[in-house]
Structure 1
Amino acid sequence: MKAAAGDRLIVESTRDGEHRRVGLIVEVGHADGSPPYLVRWLDDEHETLVFPGPDARVVHTVR
């Protein structure tokens, strides 16, 4: 998985009753775009360091 600051991280729910999470990648851990990513979650503006799992995908912004 590769990303850049400004891309969105989508994490699908793996449990019934939970919603998908969408976040803005504000910082990338490595120059090649590999994780970890500092993500600001759009639902609560909380920032967390994320090592995405198989339930996550990156949506690239148009540059």
Structure 2
Amino acid sequence: MRAQVGDWLVVHSHTEGRHDRRAEIVGTGPDGVPPYTVRWTDEDREALVFPGPDAQVVTAAEHAAHARSEAALIDRVQAGIGAHPSPAER
């Protein structure tokens, strides 16, 4: 596993009801190998991480594309909700 500063570490959850954890990689070992210094988005703190088999590195460009896709989906869902009158309005 190799990474660059600015990439993202995604740790997949295997527990129902728990979300994947994401962290921006702010430092790497020699040649981009672990350990990584990361900034967790859910805690806004930095930590030194040796990623396990449930983790993957996502490039900054892939992360941005995924965020845009999620935002577009949310916009479509919200637009769809607004297009239907509520029971009180019927």
Q: Could you tell me the TM-score, scaled by structure 2's length?
A: 0.63
Counterpart secondary structure, 2:24: strand
1:14 CA drift (Å) = 2.0
Q: How many residues align?
A: 61
In the alignment, what sits opposite 1:8? 8
Report the aligned-residue RMSD: 1.1
Indicate the residue corresponding to 2:25 in structure 1.
25
Q: Which residue does the alignment assign to 1:43?
A: 42
Percent of pairs identical after alignment?
54
Q: Which structure has the higher relative contact order (CA within 8 Å, separation 6+)?
A: 1
What TM-score, normalized to structure 1?
0.87
Of Structure 1 and Structure 2, which has the larger fraction of its residues in helix?
2
- Structure 1 runs of 4+ aligned residues shifted over 6 Å read none
Could you list the runs of 5+ residues in structure 2 that have no partner in the other structure? 62-90
More strand by share: 1
Greater C-alpha radius of gyration:
2
- The corresponding residue for 1:57 is 56
